[in-house]
Every structure is written in structure tokens, then in C-alpha cells.
Amino acid sequence: MSLTNTSTFWLKIEPDAFRQPLQHEAMRVISMDLDRHDFQLNELIERIKGHDHRLIALQIPEGLKMQALEMMDEIEDETSAKVILAADPCYGACDLVHDKMKSMGVELVAHMGHSQMNIDSGMPTQFIDVTYDGDPAIDPVLPILAQHRAIAQARLTEGDISELSEEEAKNRFLDAVGRVAPLKGTKLGLVASIQHLHLVFDYKERFEAAGYVVEVPVGGARLTFPGQVLGCNYSGDDDQIGHYLFLGSGDFHPIGLALHTGKPLAMLDPYTGDASEMGSERIERILRQRFGLIMAIQESQNFAILIGEKPGQMRRSLALKLKRTLEKHGKKGYLLALEHVGPELIDFYPVDAFVNTACPRIAIDDFVKYAKPLVTPFELEVALGEKKWETGYQFDEIP
């Protein structure tokens, strides 16, 4: 699809119609039944006692912070350790506080609600996934899966779609995300967020009994477990998977999965038992917004390139590459390093637009907070003519 035909998309944007705060599932736990979550405090207490730690830290996602003081009391009552709460916002295992805690003399960090990534925590760290014991019936989601499998089967027989006319490309874009790689299978990909990952192999058997060929995708080094997805990484996807089921709550992970794969996606919520699907209209609306942002920066001259300081978000090489690309096009790119990215920290800089290399979801989920366009690296490259949207929208993934 040609960008020159998309200028009207910008006018159709409804910024707040679909937007949600950047929110991992662990942040939602507070409104759920806390008694049914396993915080694995006994294991943590045993480790603290075994090493005779005297100072430990808890790093907890926002949705669990209301429970923090209770957990600190329990640990201090049961051990000889004092507990420091790392009280800054925490959204993922990309965000580790080891340097600061080390300088305070902390001997162990307990990081809750996330699993370990392919980054060095730099000090003893216990990752606690905080599982939920919900076990929803699969019946409500079966009609949705049947429809999605039919879509995957139709795509499987679609043939070569690498030479599309502009109109065909447009139709395909509306159909999915413009991905041109043809499918080689129609398997059901079964994925979950960290709280529900312990369910996936049991649910694999249940869906197989219901007649589905099920794959639990194994992703790259950033993912710890089979079937795991992160807001910034869906690397387990492959061309044998024709459609997906996500076990989890909220649409933070589903939006990323649909943008990354362009495949039909059903959701089954272990907290409520509700089944739903990620509607193509929702994804289309997000893509129109992304198109609008690309259009908006095409004539921009001065950019600020954001570099995340959190260890699992820091993409310095990518930021430097973008700066060189901007220079090649006669434009200016200023490198800004930040621990937290927020409009109050950057909006005042006299630049035309921001390019975000920190958490990929900031540009997708939070862009309406910013007074100026906030785009992903791929979107900048499309605006500069370095990459083409026609080969499919490329979700910004951290490997």
C-alpha cells in the first residue's frame, strides 16, 4: 500500500477510543482474587534463611504493590533479614534494580510477577512468577476457534501473494497486518502470560481432545518458558501456526501478538472464564494510527531518539543506526537516554518528533499522551523510504 494514499487515515484517528495504559497482566492482579495467587513466599523465606541474608529487596509490579507491606512483614517476621521495597514503577523483567540495590548493600533481590530474561541481573535474584490457580472451561472459546481455523485454512490455500496490486495489498492489509509470508500450517498456537503458563500443557491436551492440532511455541532467549509471550516479544511464532489462543487477561499481550503475527487470535480469561477474540477492526484502527504517525513525520527535520536505560530495554546500537540513517537523509537525530519515558520528560525539547528504542509498547500504547508524534524504529524507516509497509507492518520486537 502506498503511503501517499493514506493521508486521510490521520484524520480518522480516534485516539482514546481504544487506548489503554501500558499495563502488564501482573498489574491487574490487585483487582483479582489474591488468595488464589501463589507468591512463593515460603521458598523465598527458605532461601533467605539458607544464606543468612540480612538485607534483601522486593521488586514488585504495580498491581501487587498494595500487598508489599504485608509481604515485607512476613519476611521480616520469619527471617533475620530487613526488607527494602524497590518502590519505583516496574513493568517487566527488563527493569532490574541490581545496581541501585547493590549500592545499598542488598544481598538478594526478589523480583515478582515476571520471569528471567536474557540479561544479567548482576546479583543474586529470585524471580517469582506469581501463578494463579484459575482453570476455565474451554467450551466458550471453541466456536471462536472453529472460525479462526477456517480463516487459517483459507489463507493456507491462498497461494503466492508476493505480487499484489495496490488494491489487493490494501484489502490484505485490512484482512490482517499486510504480512506476505504464506502459511504452511493451520495449527493452533497456545500461549499464555506468566501467571497462567503452568496451564498450557494441560490445555494443549484439552484442545487436542477437541480436535485441534496444538503447538506450544518456543520463543527466543528473551522468553524463559514454552508458550510464553511478552509485550515486546512473540518470537515463538512460526508458519505452521495458523491461529492463536491466549490464556490470560486484558489485551496488552493480545494486541502485540496480533500486530506481530497478523493471525486470528482468541482469548480465554482464567480470572473470569470469559472467551473473546481480538477483532480485526481493533488492529486495523491501530494500524491506521501508525500510518497517520508515519505520514505526520515524513517532512520532519529534527528528531529525538529515545534510548531506554533499563537493562532489558537498552538498544544503543539501534539508536545509533537510526541517527546515522537520519543523517543520510539530511535530518537531525538527538540521542536522549532515559530510565522512564514520559511526556513531561521529553515534550519540551524543540524537535519535531520522537523515535522510541526503549520499551516498544510505549509508542504503540501511550503515543496519545505526547504532544508530538512518537514512532517506532520501523515506522521511522518507512517514513524515510528505507523500508516498505507493503511487506507487512513490522512490530517492534526486542529479541
Residues that bind ligand SF4 (CB under 6 A): 24, 91-92, 94, 230-232, 312-313, 359, 361, 398
Task: Decide whether 24 or 111 has the Cβ nearer to ligand SF4.
Answer: 24
Task: Decide whether 178 or 231 has the Cβ nearer to ligand SF4.
Answer: 231
Report the alpha-carbon distance of residue 98 to residue 107 in Å, rounded: 10
Kindly state the smallest distance separating residue 227's Cβ from ligand SF4, in Å.
Answer: 16
Task: Decide whether 228 or 300 has the Cβ nearer to ligand SF4.
Answer: 228
Task: Decide whether 61 or 136 has the Cβ nearer to ligand SF4.
Answer: 61
Task: Decide whether 231 or 254 has the Cβ nearer to ligand SF4.
Answer: 231
Q: How many CB atoms lie within 10 A of CB 122?
A: 14
**131 forms bridges with which residues in the sheet?**
38
Task: Decide whether 24 or 196 has the Cβ nearer to ligand SF4.
Answer: 24
- Three-state secondary structure call for residue 33: coil
Kindly state the smallest distance separating residue 206's Cβ from ligand SF4, in Å.
Answer: 29
Kindly state the smallest distance separating residue 94's Cβ from ligand SF4, in Å.
Answer: 3
| Residue the block writes with cell 514520559 | 342
Instruction: Enter the C-alpha cell of residue 329.
Output: 537523509
Q: How many CB atoms lie within 10 A of CB 339?
A: 12
Could you tell me which of 191, 192, 199 has the C-alpha nearest to residue 134? 199
Contact 245, 16 (CB under 8 A): no
Could you tell me which of 147, 161, 227, 159 has the C-alpha nearest to residue 189? 227
Report the alpha-carbon distance of residue 48 to residue 46 in Å, rounded: 5
Angle 68-78/41-51 helices, nearest 10 degrees?
40
Kindly state the smallest distance separating residue 131's Cβ from ligand SF4, in Å.
Answer: 18
Please count the residues of the chain: 399
Contact 278, 267 (CB under 8 A): yes
Task: Decide whether 94 or 245 has the Cβ nearer to ligand SF4.
Answer: 94
Task: Decide whether 155 or 253 has the Cβ nearer to ligand SF4.
Answer: 253
Instruction: Enter the C-alpha cell of residue 178.
Output: 499486510
Kindly state the smallest distance separating residue 361's Cβ from ligand SF4, in Å.
Answer: 5
Kindly state the smallest distance separating residue 105's Cβ from ligand SF4, in Å.
Answer: 27
Kindly state the smallest distance separating residue 125's Cβ from ligand SF4, in Å.
Answer: 15
**Could you give the C-alpha distances from 12 to 285, 291, 299, in angstroms and in order?**
9, 11, 20
- Three-state secondary structure call for residue 64: helix
Kindly state the smallest distance separating residue 369's Cβ from ligand SF4, in Å.
Answer: 16
